[in-house]
Chains A and B, each alone.
Chain A
Amino acid sequence: MADIFDVYLAEAVISGILLGGVLALLALGLNLIFGVIEVTWICYAELIMLGMYALYYFYSVYGLPMWVAAPACILVVAVLGLLLHYIVIAPLLDAAPINQLLATGGVLFFLQSFATVAFGIDFRNLGIRLPVLALGEMHFSYARLLAFGAALAGMVVVYLFMTRTYIGTAIRAISQDRQIMALMGVDTKRLYLVTSAIGGALAGLAACLLVLQYAVHPFVGLSFGPITFLICVLGGLGNFIGGFVAAFLFAQIISLGGLYSDLEWGYVLAFAFFIVMMFIRPAGLLARRS
C-alpha cells in the first residue's frame, strides 16, 4: 500500500511543479503591469479567456496550422492589452488608484458578457489529444509538459528583453522612479503602451497553453483569476521573483490538496495558507525584515 501512495504523491508533486510554471507566467504578466504602470488589471484572466477563444477559432474553426494560430493569438491579446491601456487606463492615470482598479473591473464585466453574447455559454475545446507520458507508474500529459516548457521559455524571453534591450532597461528604470524618468527624456506614455502590449502578449501565451488543457467558456477566467491575484499579493505586487516563488508554492498546495480531496478544496487550502502567510510575511514572501 505504502509505495502506491508514494507514487500518487510524487505524481501530485510533479503536477504541482508543472502547474506552477503556468501560474508563474500569469503572475509575471500582472506583476509587470503593476510594476511599471501601478495599475492592476482585474480583467487579466478575462483577456486570457478571449485569447483561448481566439486560438480556438483560429485553429479549430478557420483551420489555420498551429504555428500560425498560436502567434496570431498572442498578437490578438497583445493588441487587446494595448487597447485596454489606451481606452481605459490612460484617461485615468491621474485619478485615484482605486478608480483604475474599478474601471478594469468594469472591463471584466464587459468581456465576460461580450463572450457570452458572441460565443454562447457552451464549453469548447480544441479537440487535440496529446499523448500521455508514462514515467514508471506516473502519468503526465504532454499538454502540461509543453505548457511548463513554453511558460519557462516565455519568462526567459521577457527576462532577456528586460535586461538586454534599451526599452527593457527603460521599463525597469521607470518602475523604480516614474518622475525622474520623464525628466531624463523618456517618453513614459510610449513605454506604458509597450508594457501593456507585453502584458497582453504574456496573457496570450498563457491562453495558448491553457486551452490545450482546459475547455474554454465565458467564465473560465474566474477559475484561475483569483489564484493569480493571491500569488501576486503574496509575492509582493510588482516583485517578479516573489511572484515566481509564490506561484510554485501555491501550485504545490493546490495539487497536493487536490490529491486528498476535490480540486476546489485545494483552492480553499491555498486561501487559508495565504491568510496565514499574511501574518508571517505581511509585506510579501521576499520582503526583508526592517
Chain B
Amino acid sequence: MNPRHLVYWAVAAALIGLPAVYSQPYHLHVLVLILIWSFAYTSWSVMGRFGLVSLGHGGFMGVGAYVTALLWNHLGLSPWIGIPIALVCAGALALVVAYPCFRFRITGHYFALVTLALSGIVLQIITATRDYTGGSLGYTPERTKGSVFTALQFVEKETWYLIALAVWAGGIAIWFWIDRSMIRYAMEAISEDEDAAAAAGINVTAEKLKITVLSAVMTALAGALYCQYQMFISPDTVSGIAVSLQMVFAAVVGGIYVALGPTVGAIITILLAEMLRIGFGTKAVGWDNLVYGVLLVVFIIFLPKGILGSLLERMKSSSKR
C-alpha cells in the first residue's frame, strides 16, 4: 500500500469518525448542508465539465424534492419508494427536454437557454399547482407518527451527517468512474467537434443523453435529500433559475474539471453565506448573492479553471520543473 492510499483512508476515517468526537449541532448542520450541496454541484459538473452547460438543474432538483414530499403527504408513500420515483421523474424530464436538443444539435448557447427556460418552467408549475404544493409559500413534509426510519425523518444531526457523507462519497465515486470510462473519451471528443466524433463512430446523441440523465438523476437525489433533511422546501430554495445559477457558480469557483472542485466551491459559497448571515443578520438579505454575482464574473474572467483547478495545475507544473 503506498502512502497516498494511506492518506485517503485516514481522511475517510476522520470524516466518518467526526460526529463521534465533535457534535456541536450548528457546525454539524453547516457540514450536512455543505455535503448535500457539494453532491448537487458535483452532479452538475459531471456534465458541465464536457461543455454541456445546463442551467436547468434547479428544475431537476425541484422535481426531486417536490415529488418525494408530495408522494409522502398525499399518498403516504415512504421516501424509500418516493425518492426512486422522483429520480425516475427527473430522469424522464431530462430525457424529454434533452433528446430533441441533442438530436437536432441544439448546443452551446441554445442548450443553455433552453435549459434555463426549463428551470423557470418548473418553478412556474410548482407555483401554479399551489393547491397541492403550497405555491411560493413553501411546503413541509408531514412529521411521521410511526417509524422515523421508514419516513426518513431522522432527528439526530449525526445520522444525517453520515447519510450526506455517504451520498457525497457516492457522487465523487461516480465522477471518478466517468473519468475512467469510455464515456469520458467520447464526451471529450464530442465537446471538441461533434461531426468528427460522429465520424469516428461515436453515437453523439446517445452519449450526451446518458451523461445528462445521470446528472439530472443525481441532482434530483440531492433535492430529495435536502427536502428530507430540512423538512421545508420552497420553490426558490430548490428550483428556479437562481438555484441553477448558484450551482454553476459554485462549481466554477471550485473548478469543474477536478473531482473535488465542486466540493471546494460548496465549502466556499456556504461558508460565505453563513458568515454574511451571522455578521449582518437580516440586513444581509441579498448581500450574499451580490457577492456571488461579482465573484462569478471575476472568476470567469481571471480564473476560469476555478480555485482548486488552478491550484492543482500550479502544483503539477512546479513539480515537473
Residues in chain A within 8 A of chain B (CB atoms): 34, 40, 42, 88, 91-92, 95-99, 101-103, 105-114, 116-117, 121, 218, 222, 225-227, 229-230, 232-233, 237, 262, 264-265, 267-268, 271, 274-275, 278-279, 282-283
Interface presence of B51 (CB below 8 A): yes
Q: Would you list 17 pairs from A and B whose C-beta atoms are within 8 A, ordered by A residue?
A: A40-B109, A42-B116, A91-B301, A92-B301, A106-B296, A107-B293, A110-B297, A114-B290, A116-B289, A230-B117, A232-B113, A233-B110, A264-B128, A267-B121, A267-B124, A279-B104, A282-B105
Complex-state Cα separation, A227 to B285, whole angstroms: 27
Complex-state Cα separation, A113 to B242, whole angstroms: 11
Question: Mask for B286-315, Cβ within 8 A of A = 1, else 0?
Answer: 111110111111001100100000000000
- B290 A113 Cβ-Cβ under 8 A: yes
Describe B's contact surface by its main secondary structure: helix
Name the one of B101, B108, B125 contacting A264, with C-beta atoms under 8 angstroms.
Answer: B125
- B287 A109 Cβ-Cβ under 8 A: no
Q: Shortest distance in angstroms between B286's beta carbon and chain A's nearest beta carbon?
A: 3
Name the one of A88, A109, A267, A275 contacting B249, with C-beta atoms under 8 angstroms.
Answer: A109
Name the one of A96, A98, A102, A222 contacting B296, with C-beta atoms under 8 angstroms.
Answer: A102
Interface presence of B264 (CB below 8 A): no
Name the one of A109, A233, A264, A279 contacting B293, with C-beta atoms under 8 angstroms.
Answer: A109
Closest to A88 in B: B297
Name the one of A96, A105, A108, A229 contacting B117, with C-beta atoms under 8 angstroms.
Answer: A229
Complex-state Cα separation, A275 to B95, whole angstroms: 12
Give chain B residues whose Cβ lies under 8 Å from the Cβ of A279. Answer: 100, 104
Q: Shortest distance in angstroms between A108's beta carbon and chain B's nearest beta carbon?
A: 7
Residues in chain B within 8 A of chain A (CB atoms): 51, 53, 55, 96-97, 100-101, 103-106, 108-110, 112-114, 116-118, 120-121, 123-125, 127-128, 240-242, 245-246, 248-249, 252, 285-290, 292-297, 300-301, 304
- A109 B110 Cβ-Cβ under 8 A: no
- A222 B128 Cβ-Cβ under 8 A: no
Closest to B128 in A: A264
Q: Shortest distance in angstroms between A226's beta carbon and chain B's nearest beta carbon?
A: 3
- A271 B118 Cβ-Cβ under 8 A: yes
Q: Shortest distance in angstroms between A254's beta carbon and chain B's nearest beta carbon?
A: 11
Name the one of B104, B248, B288, B289 contacting A278, with C-beta atoms under 8 angstroms.
Answer: B104
Complex-state Cα separation, A102 to B124, whole angstroms: 23
Whether A111 touches B293, Cβ cut-off 8 Å, given contacts A102-B53, A264-B125, is yes
Whether A102 touches B248, Cβ cut-off 8 Å, given contacts A116-B286, A233-B113, A275-B96, is yes
- B51 A106 Cβ-Cβ under 8 A: no
Closest to B241 in A: A222
Closest to A232 in B: B113
Name the one of A91, A95, A226, A237 contacting B116, with C-beta atoms under 8 angstroms.
Answer: A226
- B113 A116 Cβ-Cβ under 8 A: no
- B296 A109 Cβ-Cβ under 8 A: yes
Q: Which of A108, A109, A237, A264 is the most central at the interface, judged by chain B CB atoms within 10 Å of its CB?
A: A109
Describe A's contact surface by its main secondary structure: helix
- A106 B300 Cβ-Cβ under 8 A: yes
Given contacts A98-B109, A102-B296, 7 further A-B contacts (CB under 8 A): A40-B109, A97-B109, A109-B292, A110-B297, A113-B287, A226-B116, A278-B101
Complex-state Cα separation, A103 to B120, whole angstroms: 19
- A268 B248 Cβ-Cβ under 8 A: no
- A112 B114 Cβ-Cβ under 8 A: no
- A264 B110 Cβ-Cβ under 8 A: no
Q: Shortest distance in angstroms between B288's beta carbon and chain A's nearest beta carbon?
A: 8
Complex-state Cα separation, A40 to B108, whole angstroms: 11
Whether A95 touches B304, Cβ cut-off 8 Å, given contacts A265-B128, A268-B121, A271-B118, is yes
Whether A226 touches B241, Cβ cut-off 8 Å, given contacts A237-B110, A275-B97, is yes
Closest to B302 in A: A91
- B114 A92 Cβ-Cβ under 8 A: no
Q: Which 10 A-B pairs have the closest CB atoms?
A: A110-B293, A282-B104, A106-B296, A226-B120, A109-B293, A264-B128, A116-B286, A113-B289, A113-B290, A106-B297
Complex-state Cα separation, A111 to B289, whole angstroms: 9
Complex-state Cα separation, A117 to B240, whole angstroms: 21
Give chain A residues whose Cβ lies under 8 Å from the Cβ of B285. Answer: 116-117, 121
- B128 A282 Cβ-Cβ under 8 A: no
Give chain A residues whose Cβ lies under 8 Å from the Cβ of B287. Answer: 113, 117
- A105 B55 Cβ-Cβ under 8 A: yes
Give chain B residues whose Cβ lies under 8 Å from the Cβ of A98. Answer: 51, 53, 108-109, 112
Closest to A267 in B: B124
Complex-state Cα separation, A262 to B125, whole angstroms: 11
Complex-state Cα separation, A157 to B103, whole angstroms: 39
Complex-state Cα separation, A279 to B248, whole angstroms: 28
- B293 A108 Cβ-Cβ under 8 A: yes
Q: Shortest distance in angstroms between A84's beta carbon and chain B's nearest beta carbon?
A: 10
Complex-state Cα separation, A99 to B108, whole angstroms: 10
Give chain B residues whose Cβ lies under 8 Å from the Cβ of A218. Answer: 286
- B241 A278 Cβ-Cβ under 8 A: no
Whether A109 touches B242, Cβ cut-off 8 Å, given contacts A98-B53, A233-B114, A275-B96, is yes
- A264 B296 Cβ-Cβ under 8 A: no
Give chain B residues whose Cβ lies under 8 Å from the Cβ of A103. Answer: 296-297, 300-301
Give chain A residues whose Cβ lies under 8 Å from the Cβ of B245. Answer: 105-106, 108-109
Complex-state Cα separation, A116 to B293, whole angstroms: 13
- B292 A264 Cβ-Cβ under 8 A: no
Whether A275 touches B51, Cβ cut-off 8 Å, given contacts A113-B293, A232-B113, is no
